[in-house]
Amino acid sequence: VSGTAMRASQEDFENAMNQVKLLKKDPGNEVKLKLYALYKQATEGPCSIPKPGVFDLTNKAKWDAWNVLGNLPKETARQNYVDLVSSLTSSSKSSSQAKPGADRERQGYENLVVTSEDGITKIMLNRPIKKNAISTQMYHEIMLALKTASKDDSTITVLTGNGDYYCSGNDLTNFTDIPAGGVEEKAKNSALMLRDFVGCFIDFPKPLIAVVNGPAVGIGVTTLGLFDVVYASDKATFHTPFGHLGLSPEGCSSYTFPKIMGPAKAAEMLIFGKKLTAREACAQGLVTEVFPDSIFQKEVWTRLKAYSKLPPNAMRVSKQVIRNTEKEKLHAVNAEECRVLRERWMSDECINAAMNFLSRRAKL
């Protein structure tokens, strides 16, 4: 949110509040939290209400969003609120206008940009201000994009990130949205969603390539074991901080990582959260090739365009021959990892770690 000049009047603020009610598209939880916090700061000043309890996740998230604004002056909060609403209304106007070449760009995703060109479907995580953390909605969008790509006429499919990160893993605010059935129901639903999500990677029928443009965290790393090729910028790092978060491995990494890099190296990553550089990940076999960041995009896309012209059926069949004997095993591993995680998500270790992150007390 740009807080250029502090000039929003009370009238601008009230207009912005009305515009929020008229938004055609739900702006998503994190924007709604930001709007809530700026509104409270603009009208009441710094947060001084008692902090909600650990299990009152929705009110806790609201409190965190407000509290993090600290002593931000009321006028600045009012201006930031007006700026934020104005950015939401202008982006909804531009997305409703027909764009030239829209046949190439699949519309309708909130946090992905999906394009098909030169035989390549590119799925780009597009939430750079949150380092491409995967929200609940994004899990569903990625599943839809993968299912669509599996049936389109492209020959290869690429997953990459917009901005400086490839992906910062699961969005740690996903667990603030607790349904009526409580934490148990949330954990059950999340495990089902995760199982479907990882299942889409296991079953993906065409060559699947990760273009890792920057740091990768958590599920952004573990799923790499299910890609056929992984290209990384030398700015990328690979981090699975499950121990720090009270979690256990997912994305079939409990099986693919020991197979790829050997059990001892896999344990250092998956149990102790050792972060690898791109060159270390390449030496361990998780990454296919590392490129200097300055030439990364050019080199990788030149290569991928050449690969995409190879006979599509031969590529699909070769992938099947390489992967199919493992599929049943991978689905079983996925199911077991999700079963264990369902328990983990309800543990004090995990809840405290997420709360520490949300209250800005912890970072990787």
Ligand X SMILES: CCCC/C=C/CC(=O)SCCNC(=O)CCNC(=O)[C@H](O)C(C)(C)COP(=O)(O)OP(=O)(O)OC[C@H]1O[C@@H](n2cnc3c(N)ncnc32)[C@H](O)[C@@H]1OP(=O)(O)O
Is the C-alpha dihedral spanning 99, 104, 108, 113 positive or negative?
negative
Residue 10 beta carbon to ligand X: minimum distance, rounded to whole angstroms = 26
Using CA atoms, how far apart are residues 80 and 82, in angstroms rounded to an integer? 5
Point out which residues pair with 120 in neighbouring strands: 117, 156
| Smaller CB separation from ligand X, 142 or 156 | 142
Cβ nearer to ligand X, comparing 156 with 216: 216
Residue closer to ligand X (CB basis): 121 or 173: 173
Strands, sheet with 276-277, edge to edge from the N-terminal-most edge strand: 216-217, 237-239, 276-277
Q: Which residues lie across from 238 on neighbouring strands?
A: 216, 276
Q: Which residue(s) pair with 161 in the sheet?
A: 125
Closest CA to 64 of 33, 87, 91, 85: 33
Contacts of 154 by beta carbon, 8 Å cutoff, 6+ apart: 116, 119, 120, 121, 206, 308
Q: Please state the closest distance from residue 66 (CB atom) to ligand X, in A.
A: 13
Nearer to ligand X, 41 or 190 (CB): 190
Q: Give CA–CA dist 357/364, Å, rounded.
A: 9
Closer to ligand X by Cβ: residue 229 or 350: 350
| CB of 305 vs ligand X, minimal distance in Å | 31
> Nearest-CA neighbor of 286 among 200, 213, 227?
227
**Is the Cβ of residue 112 or residue 133 nearer to ligand X in the bound state?**
133
The distance of closest approach from Cβ of residue 105 to ligand X in the complex, given in angstroms and rounded to an integer, is: 25
Rounded least distance, CB 226 to ligand X, Å: 14
Contacts with ligand X by CB under 6 A lie at: 130-131, 133, 168-174, 190, 193-194, 217-219, 241, 245, 247, 250, 357, 363-364
For residues 148 and 112, is the Cβ–Cβ distance under 8 A? Answer: no
- List of residues 6+ apart from 143 with CB closer than 8 A: 196, 197, 200
Q: Which CB atom, from 188 or from 316, has the smaller least distance to ligand X?
A: 188
Shortest spacing between CB 58 and ligand X, in angstroms: 16
CB of 355 to ligand X, least distance (A): 13
Runs of H (alpha helix) within 72-117: 74-96
Copy the structure tokens of residue 363: 């970072």
Query: 335 burial class (0-12, 13-18, 19+ CB within 10 angstroms)?
Result: middle
Q: How far is the CB of 209 from ligand X (least distance, A)?
A: 21
Q: Which of 82, 194 has the CB closer to ligand X?
A: 194
Q: Which is nearer to ligand X, 106 or 186 (CB)?
A: 186
Return the number of the residue (236 or 245) whose C-beta is nearest ligand X. Answer: 245
Give the number of other CB atoms < 10 A from CB of residue 314.
10
Query: What's the CA gap between 244 and 138, in Å, rounded?
Result: 24
Closest separation in Å from C-beta 282 to ligand X: 21
What would the two tokens of residue 282 be? Answer: 């390449």
Residue closest to ligand X when measured from CB atoms:
218
CB of 88 to ligand X, least distance (A): 16
Residues 6+ apart with CB under 8 A from 170: 133, 134, 218, 219
